Amino acid sequence: MPTNGKHRRVRELKERPIRPGDPGLPHKGRLLIIGGHEDKIGGKIILRELARLVGNGKLVVATLASEQPAEQWEEYERTLRGIGIRHLYHLQIQSRADAQTPRAIGILEDADAVFFTGGDQLRLTSLIGDTPVFSRCYEIFAHGGVIAGTSAGAAVMSETMVVSGNSEASPRIDDGLRLAPGFGFVKDMVVDQHFSERGRIGRLVGIIAQNPRIIGIGIDENTAIEVEPFRSFRVLGQGSAYVIDGSDILDTNVADETHGRALSVFGIRMHVLTQGDEFDLVHRSPTLQSAKEVDDELGVDTEEGADGNGTREAAAAK
């Protein structure tokens, strides 16, 4: 895009920001929400799915949440080019002013996908929330593009994101749980990552008890959900995705007891999904599917795909 065109585009996005609540926006895109520490040296099943979704298009890797963006970009560039992504670009932003520059918009112009890497989710939202960069990212998604995120990049996907809270303990009322507005790519859910590895089931139950209208999605490391917004998702990777559904909660003490008291909640439902399984977001119902079909689809060797350590090409070379 010519320089004058980039300046004009920045002005357009500042004057008419693109926001998730715009009723006139389509929602044609896909989300790939990763629980962190996705495999980069073995079968790379999650990143292979990202490559499949991108196809011959342009992928922008946004290392905005990281305090070491250059190192992170170097690792992802090597890995993603190695699995066949040709049109790969790096978006690095250090301030909100950077997120309003023609340079940044130029990187995102003509992009088919954006991948938000890990780090600090509050850094990510505070850097680009309601800037031209965010507007352009949401525009990509609304018009059929792919938005992927891992770790902190996964947490920001929902309208409300988890910033911090106690892990590996029984949920307690008002016990350090901190939530903040997310990017709103997906509605009616809260996403937590590094889920089993950091014992986060208690804090996700505590969130759902506060408002059972939403569902909680806990995603293990090296595991992802591929979301068709408002409809369904399927699971990829080595671990599990946990769905916490509070729609049938019978009673809870979340609003009645004093600070620090252990939480009671009756009638909550949990589903545990693994690779290939699908979840209907409209009816809140899971469907058991074949993990092997996903391995076959992405060219991962069946015997080694379960632990993320092989492709058919690698197996053949042994």
Known catalytic residues are: 151, 194, 221
Residues 6+ apart with CB under 8 A from 15: none
DSSP characters over 141-176? HHTT-EEEEETHHHHTTBSEEEEE---SS--BTTSS
The three-state secondary structure class of 34 is strand
Neighbours of 239 (CB within 10 A): 20
Consecutive H or E run containing 225: strand 223-228
Residue found by looking up tokens 């069946």 in the block: 302
Residue found by looking up tokens 């916490």 in the block: 244
Phi, psi of 258 (to 5 degrees): -80, 165
The token duo for 55 is: 């196809």
Phi, psi of 42 (to 5 degrees): -105, -125
Q: Which of 226, 237, 133, 125 is nearest to 184 (CA)?
A: 125
Give me the helices (H) in 113-266, please. 121-128, 132-142, 152-155, 201-210
β-pairing, 241-245 with 269-273?
antiparallel
DSSP 75: H
Given a contact cutoff of 8 angstroms between Cβ atoms, the answer to whether 100 and 14 are in contact is yes
Consecutive H or E run containing 67: none
Half-sphere exposure of 268 (CA within 13 A, CB side): 27
Report residue 64 CA to chain centroid gap.
14
Residue found by looking up tokens 């525009």 in the block: 139
